[in-house]
């Protein structure tokens, strides 16, 4: 971690920050890929298995993220922070941030708690990059 | 001659610093900023470019994207419409309006935008992904109260009592039909609509990633955590206060799921 407060970092650092955040997520055991996608569906950075086409997957994850945001608003709930959806062969994790959505793909053996913790940490970093430092949980157990 | 060329170059270099950039340059730079997630700077450049060239389609498209990125749906819609006013078959503007219609749950408007985009550009991956997703959806207006997925005696509400701390329990069919809810009519309809929409989009996303059919979901917000459980026909959603232990939430959701299936006489 840099000693410099995230909020004071120049905006040019953002692109690098997205790549770094994604790279951190990809280090987690059983994580197969991930991406950062803006709310309009623009892929900011991605690393997905060859079998998953980036643009269609990004379009769907952005749509899912927006439904979670819009639905919460419609139901007068607080905005969603993280979400996960599991199937027989794996899990899709989604985190909401000012830039859009951080998406992580895990296989069926992925450590769900660990990914959720790492995702929250990534989101807090992203919020910091946007000028609102987020609260980072100290450990997966604390989250 | 050589000296003249050199002087011209020097003059051009000097004036390039003082000459205002043209709209094309501004939009190009804005797009680069946008791709790097630098939305505020991109928006500034786009606004500057559109002041110079108010009828520039690229500028309006970028403006629409940036409004979407800032979650400003009304202005984004107007900007996509401005693009279509200049080019009625612009695939990206059509896709943008389709996405907004989807957010507004206006399926009747969404489909024609996607169809039109794909009619002109059949190899448009994002539009194809969304069209594949919505093609199987039926337009159902959830009816309040209980509606059975099969003929049989009415559901006994006391047998589907959520656990302590559990709230906003709703059971819907995959087509959006409300089966059972714990809440009042209007709230239940809205909740069922949201739950169904999340189920549908999450299912399409998992399928696209080659992971199979949606079985479980957890959505965490600042004040509550919602658990989803589903098979190919039914979706259950149950919320707890945010500080609920995930293990407890999963366990209680599973219990309620089993009870619901038993009540409905359906196999898991």
* Domain edges within chain A: 6-129
CA distance B258 to chain A (A): 18
Residue A2 clears pLDDT 50, i.e. is over it: no
User: Which helix (H) or strand (E) element contains residue B121?
Assistant: none
By C-alpha distance, the chain B residue nearest A49 is B209
User: What pLDDT was estimated at residue B21?
Assistant: 85
Q: Kindly indicate the confidence band of residue A24, based on its pLDDT and cuts at 50, 70 and 90.
A: very high
Which residues from chain B sit within 8 angstroms of residue A69, using beta carbons? 71
- Give dist(CA B266, CA B251) in Å, integer: 20
Q: Kindly indicate the confidence band of residue A1, based on its pLDDT and cuts at 50, 70 and 90.
A: very low
In this structure, CATH architecture of domain B2-135: Alpha Horseshoe (1.25)
β-sheet with B214-221: strand ranges across: A43-47, A31-37, A100-107, A90-97, A80-87, B214-221, B224-230, B234-241, B167-173, B178-181
Q: State the angle between helix axes of B185-208 and B125-135 in degrees (0 to 180), rounded to the nearest 10.
A: 130
User: Which residue is listed with tokens 């970028």?
Assistant: B62
CA B2 to chain centre: 60
In the stretch 248-267 of chain B, residues with CB closer than 8 A to chain A read: none
Q: Kindly indicate the confidence band of residue A11, based on its pLDDT and cuts at 50, 70 and 90.
A: low
Give yes or no for A14 touching B (CB within 8 A): yes
Give yes or no for A58 touching B (CB within 8 A): yes
- Give dist(CA B81, CA B123) in Å, integer: 23
B144 or A130, which is more confident?
Answer: A130
* Three-state DSSP class for residue B181: strand
Distances (CA, A) of A68 to A61, B17, B29, B227: 11, 46, 32, 13
ipTM attached to this prediction: 0.87
State the count of interchain CB pairs (< 8 A) between A and B: 165
User: Which helix (H) or strand (E) element contains residue A111?
Assistant: none
Average pLDDT of the residues of chain A: 85
Which residues from chain B sit within 8 angstroms of residue A38, using beta carbons? 37, 39, 65, 68-69
Q: Which CATH number fits domain B157-264: 3.90.1150.10, 3.30.450.30, 3.40.50.80, 3.40.50.300?
A: 3.30.450.30
Nearest neighbour of A84 by CB, restricted to B34, B64, B218 = B218
Q: What is the pLDDT of residues A49-108, one digit of tens each?
A: 999 999 999 999 999 999 999 999 999 999 999 999 999 999 999 999 988 999 999 999
User: What pLDDT was estimated at residue B185?
Assistant: 59
User: What pLDDT was estimated at residue B160?
Assistant: 81
Give yes or no for B85 touching A (CB within 8 A): no
Nearest neighbour of B205 by CB, restricted to A14, A15, A61 = A61
- Give dist(CA B259, CA B94) in Å, integer: 45
Which residues from chain A sit within 8 angstroms of residue B215, using beta carbons? 86-88
- Predicted confidence pLDDT, tens digits, chain B (268 residues): 578 788 888 877 776 666 678 999 999 999 999 998 899 999 999 999 999 999 999 999 999 999 999 999 999 999 999 999 999 999 999 999 999 999 999 999 999 999 999 999 999 999 999 999 999 887 655 444 444 454 456 666 677 888 888 999 999 999 888 898 876 656 888 899 999 999 999 999 999 999 999 999 999 999 999 999 999 899 999 999 989 999 999 999 999 999 999 888 875 5
Q: Do A81 and B191 touch (CB under 8 A)?
A: no
Q: Do A38 and B68 touch (CB under 8 A)?
A: yes
CA distance B2 to chain A (A): 40
In the stretch 98-137 of chain B, residues with CB closer than 8 A to chain A read: 99, 102-103, 125-126, 128-130, 133
Give yes or no for A85 touching B (CB within 8 A): yes
Residue A131 clears pLDDT 90, i.e. is over it: no
Nearest neighbour of B221 by CB, restricted to A15, A56, A81 = A81
User: Which helix (H) or strand (E) element contains residue B244?
Assistant: none
Which residues from chain B sit within 8 angstroms of residue A66, using beta carbons? 99, 103
Give yes or no for A63 touching B (CB within 8 A): yes
- Give dist(CA A70, CA B171) in Å, integer: 20
Q: Which two tokens stand for residue B56?
A: 């520039």
Helix residue ranges, H only, chain B: 2-18, 23-35, 39-52, 57-69, 73-86, 91-103, 107-120, 125-135, 185-208, 246-264
* Domain edges within chain B: 2-135, 157-264
In this structure, CATH architecture of domain A6-129: 2-Layer Sandwich (3.30)
CA distance A26 to chain B (A): 16
- Give dist(CA B188, CA B182) in Å, integer: 8
User: What pLDDT was estimated at residue B200?
Assistant: 96
């Amino acid at each position: 971690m840099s000693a410099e407060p995230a909020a004071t970092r120049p905006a040019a650092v953002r692109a690098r920050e997205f790549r770094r955040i994604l790279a951190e997520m990809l280090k987690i055991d059983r994580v197969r890929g991930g991406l950062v996608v803006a709310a309009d569906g623009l892929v900011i950075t991605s690393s997905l298995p060859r079998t998953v086409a980036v643009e269609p997957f990004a379009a769907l994850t952005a749509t899912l993220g927006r439904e979670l945001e819009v639905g919460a608003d419609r139901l007068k709930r607080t905005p969603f922070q993280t979400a996960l959806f599991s199937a027989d062969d794996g899990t899709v994790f989604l985190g909401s941030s000012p830039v859009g959505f951080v998406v992580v793909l895990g296989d069926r053996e992925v450590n769900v708690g660990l990914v959720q913790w790492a995702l929250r940490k990534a989101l807090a970093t992203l919020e910091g990059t946007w000028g609102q430092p987020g609260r980072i949980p100290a450990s997966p157990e604390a989250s | 001659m050589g000296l003249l060329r050199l002087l011209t170059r020097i003059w051009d270099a000097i004036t390039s610093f003082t000459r205002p950039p043209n709209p094309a340059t501004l939009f190009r730079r804005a797009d680069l900023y946008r791709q790097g997630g630098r939305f505020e700077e991109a928006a500034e450049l786009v606004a500057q470019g559109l002041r110079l060239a108010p009828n520039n389609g690229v500028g309006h498209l970028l403006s629409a994207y940036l409004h979407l990125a800032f979650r400003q749906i009304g202005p984004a819609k107007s900007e996509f419409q401005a693009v279509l006013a200049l080019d009625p078959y612009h695939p990206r503007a059509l896709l943008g309006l389709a996405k907004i219609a989807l957010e507004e749950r206006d399926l009747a408007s969404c489909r024609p935008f996607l169809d039109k985009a794909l009619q002109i550009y059949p190899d448009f991956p994002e539009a194809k992904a969304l069209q594949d997703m919505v093609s199987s959806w039926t337009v159902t207006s959830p009816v309040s109260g209980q509606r059975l997925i099969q003929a049989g005696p009415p559901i006994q509400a006391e047998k589907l009592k959520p656990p302590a701390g559990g709230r906003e329990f709703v059971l819907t069919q995959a087509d959006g039909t409300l089966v059972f809810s714990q809440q009042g009519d209007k709230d239940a309809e809205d909740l069922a609509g949201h739950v169904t929409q999340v189920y549908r989009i999450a299912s399409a996303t998992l399928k696209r990633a080659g992971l199979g059919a949606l079985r479980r979901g957890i959505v965490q917000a600042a004040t509550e955590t919602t658990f989803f459980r589903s098979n190919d026909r039914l979706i259950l959603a149950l919320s707890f206060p945010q500080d609920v232990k995930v293990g407890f939430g999963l366990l209680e959701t599973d219990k309620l799921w089993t009870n619901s299936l038993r009540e409905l006489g359906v196999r898991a």
